[in-house]
Chain A
Amino acid sequence: MNQIRISQSVIERIYEIRVEKIMRTDVTRVTPETKMSELKYVIKENNYACIPVLTGEKLVGQISIEGYVDWLTSEMGDVPVSEIMDIDFKTLHPDEPVITAVKELELIGLRGLPVVENESNKFLGVICRCTMMEGVLAVLDLDDEKESKKEYNCILNNIESVSALLTLNYIVEQKSLEYGGEISSSIRTDLYKLGLPGNLVRKTAIAAYEAEINLLAYAGGGTVTITLSSELLNMEIEDHGPGIPDVEKAMEPGYSTAPDWVRELGFGAGMGLQNIKNCSDNFTIKSTVGEGTVLIVDINMEGKCT
């Protein structure tokens, strides 16, 4: 059976989430004078979590669903909430980690816990089991988007030299094709970190990925060198593999010499080189049988750096 593995960074972030981030504030509150019979609808509105009892803004008690059921089965009649409410109960503070809330809920077996301000006991909201997970997921999602949209300052913008060049070197080691893409993934991340425009990064990553698959499938590895200037991204992919006997033929869409194991991975349909060419503004391929192959991919810097 496959299990969902939660990555370490996610676990770390779950520990960082504070109660205030995921508490519900849309809960209905009642006063000590509210009649017990009126709670019927409130319980449903509050999603069966606890019902906070407030005097002014101060939390003075709470009715748990369990307490309400006890009252229903007793013969106390329609008494005010103050006679039934718990006054000695656990509360959460807004700056506590969500993990504390989870532990408390498990420990007490309750469906919800009220959140109050540290000293004043001012009521702020409720953490309830049913919406907790949703809240955590929403926070994680939000953090992620923030992260992926993180804007880096393009360092090239800050360089005044007329011919600034930045070179990045990557080595594609001979490994199982299953690992194909690791280097392209690093390239992609690095280019984003340098603040290059998304469109350019995307084209470069796709071209690099197709080339990386080729390096692993046919050439026993190779190197990728990226040189950046303010107008151009130049990527050279070099290997010392067997070389391509008929380059023109190899460039034809659909022409492939790929063995089955390459095809099983979803490649080898004879589109790789063509795809690399399509991503480039200028594309050259030089290959010598017995010596190796060099691909040169030039991509213009369209638009401004972020």
Chain B
Amino acid sequence: MKIKELCQILNAKILSSGHLSREIKSIYVSDLMSDVLTFGREAQLLITSLTNQQTIRTVEMVEIPAICYTNGKYPEKKTIELANTKRVTILVTDFSTFQVTGKLFAAGLQG
């Protein structure tokens, strides 16, 4: 599924564009960056309610192209700037992590 389509399902705002036409193959949900580093895979979307710069650094290392921040949490300006430099897409949705996961699961995405 394309990042653009995910955006529609989650009614999400795009804060940094990155690669919008990139295909997302699966989802990883975690607020623990060490877990993302261990289990994260490329072409995934990371769903998290943590919004600091380390989330961008983490996905950069694992080569995850997009992050979705839940609960309507906006990241700091610095996080957005870093995401722009690293070409990472940031989405923000008002839905909770549970709701986001449910919606994407229902849309056929797997972990």
Contacts of B53 in A (CB 8 A): 178-179, 181
Is B54 touching A144 in the complex (CB atoms < 8 A)?
no
- Binary contact readout A197-223 vs B (1 if CB under 8 angstroms, 0 otherwise): 000001001100110010000000000
Residue of B nearest to A265 (CB): B54
* Nearest-Cβ distance from residue A215 to partner chain B, whole angstroms: 14
CA distance A41 to B17 in the complex (A): 35
Are A144 and B19 in contact, CB atoms less than 8 angstroms apart? yes
Nearest CB in chain B: distance from A233 CB, A: 15
* Residue B99 lies at the interface, judged by CB distance under 8 Å to chain A: no
Contact B57 A145 (CB under 8 A): no
CB–CB A267/B54 < 8 A:
yes
Task: State the 10 A-B residue pairs at the shortest beta-carbon distance, nearest first.
Answer: A181-B57, A266-B33, A271-B34, A205-B61, A7-B84, A209-B61, A266-B50, A206-B37, A265-B54, A206-B61
User: Can you report 8 residue pairs joining A to B where beta carbons are below 8 Å apart?
Assistant: A10-B84, A178-B52, A178-B78, A180-B54, A185-B57, A266-B33, A269-B32, A275-B37
- With contacts A180-B57, A184-B61, A271-B38 taken as known, whether A266 is within 8 angstroms of B32 at the C-beta atoms is yes
| A141 interface neighbour in B19, B55, B58, Cβ under 8 Å | B19
Q: In the bound complex, do residue A266 and residue B54 qualify as a contact, i.e. CB atoms below 8 Å apart?
A: yes
Return A141 CB to nearest CB of chain B, in Å: 5
0 or 1 for each of A84-108: is its CB under 8 Å from B? (1 = yes): 0000000000000000000000000
Q: Which residues of B contact A181 (CB under 8 A)?
A: 53-54, 57-58, 60-61
Chain A residue with Cβ nearest B4:
A137
Chain A residues within 8 Å of chain B by Cβ, number: 34
Give B residues with C-beta under 8 Å from A. 14-17, 19-21, 31-35, 37-38, 48, 50, 52-55, 57-58, 60-63, 74-75, 77-78, 80-81, 84-87
> Inside 8 A of A265's CB, which chain B residues have their CB?
33, 50, 52, 54
Shortest distance from the beta carbon of B3 to any chain A beta carbon, whole Å = 10
* Interface membership of A2, Cβ < 8 A: yes
Whether A300 sits at the interface, judged by CB under 8 Å, is no
CB–CB B15/A4 < 8 A = yes
Residue A61, interface by CB 8 Å: no
Write out the residue numbers on chain B whose beta carbons fall within 8 Å of the beta carbon of A178: 52-54, 78
Contact at A267–B33, with CB atoms within 8 Å?
Answer: yes
Q: From known contacts A185-B57, A202-B61, infer whether A2 and B19 are also in contact, taking CB-CB under 8 Å.
A: no
Q: For window 132-165 of chain A, which residues contact chain B by CB distance below 8 Å?
A: 137-138, 140-141, 144-145, 148
A148 to B19, CA, bound (A): 11
Report the bound CA distance from A210 to B75 in whole Å.
22
A40 within 8 A of B: no
A188 to B62: give the CA distance in the assembly, Å. Answer: 11
User: Considering the chains assembled together, what is the distance between the CA atoms of A141 and B4 in angstroms?
Assistant: 13
Q: A2-B74, A271-B35 are in contact. Are A266 and B81 (CB under 8 A)?
A: no
